[in-house]
Structures are given as C-alpha cells and as structure tokens.
Amino acid sequence: MEIGLALPQYDFSVPGESPLRWDTLLGWAERAEALGFGSVWLSDHLFLDISRYGAPAGDHGCFNPLVALAAIARRTDTVRLGTLTMCGPLRPATVLAKALATLDVVSGGRLTVGLGAGWYEPEMRAAGLALEPPGVRLAHLAESVQVVRGMFGGGPFSFDGRYEKADKARCQPRPAQHPSPPIWVGGKGDRLIELAGRHADGWNTAWISTPEQWATRAALLDAACEKAGRDPATVARSVGLYALAGEDEADLERRFRRLQELSPSGVLDGVSLAEWREGRLVGTVEQVAEQVRHWASVGVSSLVLNAGAVPFALASADDVELLAHACRL
C-alpha cells in the first residue's frame, strides 16, 4: 500500500506559525520524501475558515496548490504530487488541464489529479461565483473530468457540455505520463461514487472512517463500475485519515495531550483519546501497522495521513516521523 502525507498548507497548519512560511511547506515536502512517504498532497482553497471543526471563526490564508506543487517538484525526486482536491468550479476545465499538464511535465510524470465539486461557499462568493446545488456541482464535475482527460490528449479537443465547453482546444506540451496522469474524484456521497465508477481513475474519501464503513461505500463503487462496464479493479481506492502513533499506550496518551495543546483553540477541547481513536489511524506503533494492513485487506490502495487535528495541518515533527516508521512495519 502507498502511504501519503497531507502537507501543512494554511496559516493554521503549524503551531505558532501564522502566516505559514513557504520554507516550512517546502521543507515538509522534502522531509516526507526522505521519510519514505510515497506521495504528498495539497488542497485547493482561496482561503479557509475552520470554525466547522470547533475553532474560532476567521479566514486563514493558504498557498495555491498548482504553484506550490510545481516548486516542490523541483526540490524532490521520487515522491508523487497530488491534489485533494482541485475545486472544479473555480477554473474552466480547459485552463485547469493546461496547468496540470505543465505540472506533470515539470515533475517528470509524478502528478495525481484529484478533482472535486467544491463545497466552500465563502470562497465561491469571494470569486464572484455561485455555489450551485449538489446535483448541479456533481454534473459539472463529471464534465470537468471528461474535459481534463480529453485535454490531456493534446488536442485539438472539443466538448459541448452544459457547464464546460471546448472548441478544438489544445494542450501542448502534453503531460509526461501516458496516456495521462490519473484523475481521481473525492467525496462520500452515492452520486459522487457513481461518478467515480463512470469516469474516474481513482476515488478518495477523507478524513474519518472505519474500514467497515468504507467497505460499504466501496461496494457502491464496485456496482457503479459494473454498471458502466468497467472492471472495478481499474479504479484506485484512497482514504485520507487523521493519524497519530505512540511508542506505547503511555506515549500515545502523551502525544495526544500535546496534540490537544498545539491544535487550534476549540478543536480538541473536551475530546478524549478514546474518542479520537474512532475512525482514525490512531494507536501504538504496532496497532497502527496492523490498522494499515487491515485497510489494505479491504481493498484500499493508498492512505493519505493527516498528522494534525484539522485537515492539512500537523502538530509535531516527531509524530510524523513515528507514523512513517509505523507504516513501514
């Protein structure tokens, strides 16, 4: 199983550092490769409010994933670079495909494209766009996947959809990967999973789940693939999980208390370690290693670890190092 790391990307991502420094993000990408992680991931927002996780309301800045991953590509050699996920409605799919193709060339063919339907209304409003109803966003996402894949062929490419258009569009140079970089979609809903079965190369869900809960959703993906005449094995299965490991139970408790202290105010207030373990990759080194094997046994091909209490954040360097060790057992 391939193990990835969600990189710190936001002004809330690293304790005591706001705004987040570029050297911090870049350094973590380099460290992830050195620790043996197979991939590094960034999300796609213009800004983000984490009050939904219990933190005080307020916008936090972040680095653009396309620009940041291009820079990371020039300072790393083997680690794959991924997006969880690009917000489709923020950019015309033809324009996005051109940027992604360039990123794949710059990285020497290491890109995994995660696309999403968008969900964060404040950034859409700030960009002068409307957050459409879920059904519309999913229909738009289906067209975006088709256009990005079509553009990766180099062109001329034409597409006449309800939400996306292309008129003999070209994408030169083409991506380094052939036939194209893998295109994943991210989400948990039935219609999103059906979309993955019809159009995508992979499916990701994050950040809380048990293997049993996930297997129920994966069965829907299998059915969607069969309905579309696809072999379900052709769709990669990826899960993002909050993660924390300890040398033993006492060390795990100590690390959890530290995570509580270093996390944004309100996020872990009143939360016990027993509660935090549920649906997350949490335990002693041996327990985490066993959990990873369990995830592999139910069909997951990729885990993306988040070593903080909110997405794309981390609390302590040694937590990440111990997780890397646990996942290699």
> Residue 42 in contact with residue 84, Cβ under 8 Å?
yes
- The 10 Å Cβ neighbour count of residue 162 is 9
Listed in sequence order, the DSSP H helices in the chain are 22-35, 65-73, 93-106, 121-126, 134-151, 190-199, 211-227, 249-262, 273-277, 285-297, 317-328
**3-state secondary structure (DSSP) of residue 193:** helix
**3-state secondary structure (DSSP) of residue 21:** coil
Picking from 53, 104, 113, 61, the residue whose alpha carbon sits closest to that of residue 84 is 113
Picking from 201, 288, 208, the residue whose alpha carbon sits closest to that of residue 242 is 208
d(CA 48, CA 17): 16
For residue 224, give its domain range.
2-328
- The 10 Å Cβ neighbour count of residue 265 is 9
CATH code for the domain of 68: 3.20.20.30
Residue-wise pLDDT tens digits, 287-313:
999 999 999 999 999 999 999 999 999
Tokens of 114: 């995660």
pLDDT for res 259: 98
Domain total of the chain: 1
pTM above 0.85, yes or no: yes
Each residue's pLDDT tens digit in the chain (329 positions)?
A: 999 999 999 999 999 999 999 999 999 999 999 999 999 999 999 999 999 999 999 999 999 999 999 999 999 999 999 999 999 999 999 999 999 999 999 999 999 999 999 999 999 999 999 999 999 999 999 999 999 999 999 999 999 999 999 999 999 999 999 999 999 999 999 999 999 999 999 999 999 999 999 999 999 999 999 999 999 999 999 999 999 999 999 999 999 999 999 999 999 999 999 999 999 999 999 999 999 999 999 999 999 999 999 999 999 999 999 999 999 97
pLDDT for res 194: 97
Picking from 253, 290, 291, the residue whose alpha carbon sits closest to that of residue 273 is 253
**3-state secondary structure (DSSP) of residue 212:** helix
d(CA 122, CA 146): 27
Q: Residue 201 is which amino acid?
A: D
Picking from 4, 89, 92, 10, the residue whose alpha carbon sits closest to that of residue 43 is 10
d(CA 311, CA 10): 9
